Structure 1
Amino acid sequence: MKQSSIFEQRVGHSVDDSTIYRLLNRHGWRKVMPRPKHPKSDLETQEAFKKNFPALVDAAVAMREPGDERPILIMAQDEGCFGRISQVRRCCAPPGVRPHVPAQLVREYVYAYAAVAPAQGQLVSLILPEISTAMMNLFLEHVSRSFSDHFIVMQVDQAGWHRTQELLIPANIRLIPQPAYSPEVNPVEHVWGLRC
């Protein structure tokens, strides 16, 4: 099926595909990979979370120690996996030549822990070797020290290392769990979109 057939129906005459691509380019459209949506995600739960977020922040602030008058900093936290898988790909070569390259499948990963304060435009991050409770403890301690003059209310997803009893939450941080299967409600997700 021709790419421009829907547009042709609208305008009432035939249009070349290149015209469509020029039109999309003029309006700043680009090819992007659609973000997958988890089948268990619930739009109503996400909307309720957004609507009730100020009340959740107030409840978290109410749990701080008496006399703690530090300004409140609202942050969102997430982890991103970055890595490389070495695979031999096709390449250009002159006729009759087939290149030889050393090949061994290698998988190397690092994990970026990040927290953003969207209202202030601030970001804090660490690159760590794995995702675990121990690494999350390191990251929370780093955030606590980096923003020691603030009381931090941090939105997190419901990953196991965010909910475990072994998680050591510093005195100036309170965590707010976001709905399950709902990365769309987490502002830090936009940071991972910038890597491409």
Structure 2
Amino acid sequence: MTLTIGEQAPDFEAETTEGTIRFHEWLDGSWAVLFSHPRDFTPVCTTELGYMASIKPEFDKRGVKIIGLSVDPVENHARWAEDIAETQGTAPNYPMIGDKDFTVAKLYGMLPAEVAGDPTQRTPAQNATVRNVFVIGPDKQIKLVLVYPMTTGRNFDEVLRVIDSLQLTANHKVATPAQWKQGDDVIIAGSVSDDQAKEIWPDGWAAPRPYIRIVPQPQ
């Protein structure tokens, strides 16, 4: 079953490059990004892991943990990290799950339940669906699901932008419009009546249509 927004992120125990973790304990009330890869030593994923490592300070500033996953054993991750450092300039500085029994990939709906065997004997194409990004909130609920093909590298700047929106809208009764970025105007949430909005925004709002109520981003 594919996970959807609002569902609880499944818990699991897994071996990682930073030791064995219990996922919900590792979250520890933080936001998190779990992003997956079909196999180690794949070209597009190599660039993604390196870029994610280079912008990890941006996730840290937002209180967001990062964790990667590949259906390879952890010892392969260690060798891959050397390649990533040499070719991308930055080695992974976050844990990488060794999902060699496909447990996490199945829990998160990325591989069918019947998949079994030696992961190192599977081709990346056989694991093509293991290219997801999950953003998970402090309440352990799924807030975002992105699924990418193997031939398209992921845009982690966009993931940061979405996290900015998610964190803003979790704390204020607003939504963010198309192409929104930090500091831009926002839209009063549809769940807020005009009477309620007048209490929150006594100076009013711009309304090109009654259902589009634009205000400055709350600080």
Normalised TM-score (structure 1): 0.30
**Larger radius of gyration, structure 1 or 2?**
1
TM-score (norm 2): 0.27
